[in-house]
Amino acid sequence: MTTGKDTDQLYQSLREHYTTVEPTLPRRREIVQILELRFTPDEAELALKMPLRGQRGMSLDDLESASGKSRTELEDMLGSMLNKGIAFTRQRRQDGVDTFLLWDLGYSLYTPTYGDGITDDDKRRLADLRERLWQRGWPFVMFNSRHPVERVLPFEDHIDPSTEVAPYERFSHYVEQAESICVVACGCRASTNRCNRPLFTCIHFDQETPYWARYRGGRLLGKEECLSLMRDAVKSGLVIMGRNYQEQPNVVCMCCGDDCLLLRPYNENHYPYAFVRSNFLAYVDREKCKGCLTCFNNCPVGAINRRLSYQEGSRDGVLVLGERCIGCGVCTALCPQQAITLKKVRDIVPAQTPREAWARTMAEPLW
């Protein structure tokens, strides 16, 4: 018989397990409450035997040996954990065997949980606990590196034609390279239900797409459909956010300025370490600009100001704040006069591989 004290220790141990890949996970009661809400005691015991994202996955045979549970028990428990978005599965490349891992806890509180676009009482409670941690400063330990893990990708349709654009700066390049594509709901917007922008915009590629399609309500996309979805998303005011490395990413998000866990610290706290700006800035052609303020009203990070005319015969217009602009290109997509283009102003080259990027992230802590 498991006592209350034993159960408390179980969830404390599970929290410690997560810190092997999330060393800045807060020592707060809310974290334990989240784990209690997400895992049954039996699932928590199994989770202690499981690897986390970034580690080598375990097969059913591996888990059977490690846990002492029967295959039937494991299949039932893993099915529950996959459907709740606390674990995921992918095939080993060398032999096609299914392997199982835990999502890292911070990420699991977003798209893995809310990717089906469905909310219920438990998910609302989870969002409340997450927001409580957020208001106590979780973003500043979650994004605790001078080398962020995410990177803005520019909207390609209105980049200055004289500008050289690297493949890793193009969303279209990743779509072209993809073997499979799946779209799910944005976990940030689905968990708050306060944003009227498109919801199913979180794009997953290749090895993990079967998981999203089978367990988390994802829908497989063709390449042209994916590019069309991206254009519609940007025209609704969403920012294309990819991984901060050059190789094919597992996911590209479409982020809003109100709910996105990456853009919120930038907008609410002027905190610049949740993502890397693109290498581009928005430039306004004053001859074409009619002063309609579409860009001013829709910039996701408030990087455009109104500008009063002061010369006879000139019109009121707008001014791009270079130190604030993230080079996303939302303004270029929305300008009815096509008066705004993106121009390359720097040439920051990201790490080549996920492993190299993560090593830099861990090696450059802020504190």
Within a domain: residue 133?
no
Q: Are 165 and 196 in contact (CB under 8 A)?
A: no
pLDDT of residue 310: 66
pLDDT of residue 2: 52
Residue 91: in which H helix or E strand, if any? strand 87-91
Same domain as 269, residue 185:
yes
pLDDT beyond 50 at 297: yes
Same domain as 355, residue 336:
no
* Tokens encoding 215: 């367990």
Nearest C-alpha neighbor of 124 from the set 191, 188, 34, 40: 191
Q: pLDDT (tens digit, 9 = 90+) per residue, 133-183?
A: 999 999 999 999 999 999 999 999 999 999 999 999 999 999 999 999 999
Same domain as 307, residue 336:
yes
pLDDT beyond 80 at 98: yes
Same domain as 84, residue 221:
no
CB atoms within 10 A of CB 358: 18
* Tokens encoding 94: 């060398």
Q: pLDDT (tens digit, 9 = 90+) per residue, 213-254?
A: 999 999 999 999 999 999 999 999 999 999 999 999 999 999
**Residue 25 CA, distance from chain mean position:** 18
pLDDT of residue 311: 66
Give the CATH number, domain containing residue 59. Answer: 1.10.10.10
Within a domain: residue 89?
yes
pLDDT of residue 210: 95
Same domain as 353, residue 230:
yes
CB atoms within 10 A of CB 278: 26
Give the CATH number, domain containing residue 316. Answer: 3.30.70.20
Count the residues in the chain.
367
Within a domain: residue 305?
yes
Within a domain: residue 15?
yes
Q: Are 145 and 358 in contact (CB under 8 A)?
A: no
pLDDT of residue 5: 58
Same domain as 355, residue 231:
yes
Within a domain: residue 116?
no
Domain that holds residue 205: 141-277+347-363
Q: What is the mean pLDDT of the chain?
A: 94
Nearest C-alpha neighbor of 243 from the set 171, 176, 182, 327: 171
pLDDT beyond 90 at 315: no
Q: pLDDT (tens digit, 9 = 90+) per residue, 63-73?
A: 999 999 999 99
pLDDT of residue 316: 80
Within a domain: residue 352?
yes
Same domain as 297, residue 263:
no
Q: Kindly state the percentage of the chain with pLDDT values over 70.
A: 97
Same domain as 194, residue 174:
yes
- For 49-73, what is the mean pLDDT? 94
DSSP type of residue 197:
S
Last-in-domain residue among 63, 90, 108: 108
pLDDT of residue 150: 98
Same domain as 155, residue 268:
yes
pLDDT of residue 1: 41
- In this structure, of 88-97, 99-108, 323-332, 347-356, the range with the lowest mean pLDDT score is 88-97
- For 46-57, what is the mean pLDDT? 94
Q: Are 188 and 261 in contact (CB under 8 A)?
A: yes
115, 186, 108, 98 alpha-carbon torsion, rounded to 10°: 50
Within a domain: residue 48?
yes
Domain count for the chain, please give it: 3
pTM: 0.94
Side-chain half-sphere CA neighbours of 195 within 13 A: 24
Same domain as 297, residue 265:
no
Last-in-domain residue among 84, 108, 132: 108
Q: Is 114 exposed, middle or buried (0-12, 13-18, 19+ CB in 10 A)?
A: buried
Within a domain: residue 170?
yes
Which residue, chain included where needed, has tokens 């580690």?
A: 55
Side-chain half-sphere CA neighbours of 293 within 13 A: 7
Same domain as 179, residue 62:
no
Same domain as 295, residue 255:
no
